Amino acid sequence: MDKRSAGAFLSLRCRLGVFIGLLLLVLSFSAGCRPDLLSDRTAEEQIPPLTLDEQADRLVASMTTPEKVGQMVMIGIHGKQLDEDSRYMLRQFHIGGILLFDRNIESGDQLKSLTAQLQEYAQGKEAGQKLPLFIGLDEEGGRVSRGRAVIPAPLSEQEIGMGGDPAQAEESAGTTAAILQQYGIQVDFAPVADINGGDSRDYSGDAQTAAAFVSRAADGYEKAGMIYALKHFPGIGRSRVDSHREVSRVDVTEAGLEQEELVPFRAVIEHKSPENYFVLVSHLIYPALDAEHPASQSEAVMTGLLRKKLGFSGVVITDDLEMGAVANHAPYRELGKRAVQAGADMVLICHEYAHETDVYLGLLDAVKSGEISEERVNESVRRIVRMKLAHVL
């Protein structure tokens, strides 16, 4: 081999050695590092997403007691724009929901702006809430229709029921839901599931007929993704006294309730997912169940009947605590506390900021004193958070 050939051979060996060295380095890196990275990635991919319950548990665990109590309170506000009063309620008391009234509605653009402002402030830096608000409206149809200048009033339940076609209840609910949603409203406090004594708010005086219409209305809301509320548990059709003014007694046997009033409620409870709707509890006294307490303050009604007997595991909310049926008989600091002790998850108080403040502080004091346990609060807040995760987030 001449000198030129020998030099070329040595140069080739040198380059080949460098190449083999680099190859071994790459293989060593791959053997030592990449499997770990791939293993990590595989492990991450194998971790299943959190269930709704697990997400709810995490959120509840992250909340302070005042924040939890705030989630259990739904209030009304004054004015057509976010003002310092409503800011204060959201910031100071961590309020979980707002029910709107005619006093809050002037035009479509104004209503959209108001609901957006409420949500933005509630979850903003000052209020710092971890969840969006429930924003609701009573849009039953007929004479109970809010914001008529903006929201077309649906037919009353009585008019729909007289038409004889339950599909019309579904269509009306779906149409109403779509209109409310475009204004940032996620909860319609309807349908009325009572059996009427000639009241335009109810579908029918026949239990099975009312159940068919209520069930189809529930279908309409659910297909639109709207939270709804069955009311007024366990049924106020027999009452002849307006609960806004005073309490009254419904003298019906437990068997009578089973055969009549409870039929529309059971039709939904047995067939619908509990995170899709509230059950709103009335302020009437049902002596066959509890001769002393209005339903919204009665453990026999909310826990014994609604939870245990009918098996409802969703959010139970009271009717407005400023109604005379309860407000005439106890201080506001007691009303909210008694409702939760009896089984309510949320209390509704709609008009005066002073009364709303008293209800919140009464609940908070009861938790701090141990009259209501932290675990009892967690049970309610978990249900509320599940509903918000399913519909509002």
Q: Taken in order 23, 26, 31, 34, is the CA torsion positive or negative? A: negative
DSSP string, 315-382: EEEEEETTSHHHHTTS-HHHHHHHHHHHT-SEEEE-S-HHHHHHHHHHHHHHHHHTSS-HHHHHHHHH
Q: Write out 211-276 in H/E/C secondary structure.
A: HHHHHHHHHHHHHHCCEEEEEEECCCCCCCCCCCCCCCECCCCHHHHHHCCHHHHHHHHCCCCHHH
Residues 6+ apart with CB under 8 A from 84: none
Closest CA to 68 of 91, 88, 94, 92: 94
Q: Are strands 73-75 and 346-349 parallel, antiparallel or unpaired?
A: parallel
Catalytic residue among 319, 320, 345, 358: 319
Is the Cβ–Cβ distance between 94 and 69 less than 8 Å? yes
Q: Return the bridge partners of 318, or none.
A: 281
Catalytic residue among 109, 244, 251, 271: 244
Q: Which two tokens stand for residue 122?
A: 């509630």
Q: How far apart are CA 174 and CA 227, in angstroms?
A: 11
Is there a catalytic annotation at residue 244?
yes
Q: What angle do CA 162, 167, 173 make, to 5 degrees?
A: 95
Q: How far apart are CA 155 and CA 25, in angstroms?
A: 78
Is there a catalytic annotation at residue 319?
yes
Q: Which residues are part of the catalytic machinery?
A: 244, 319
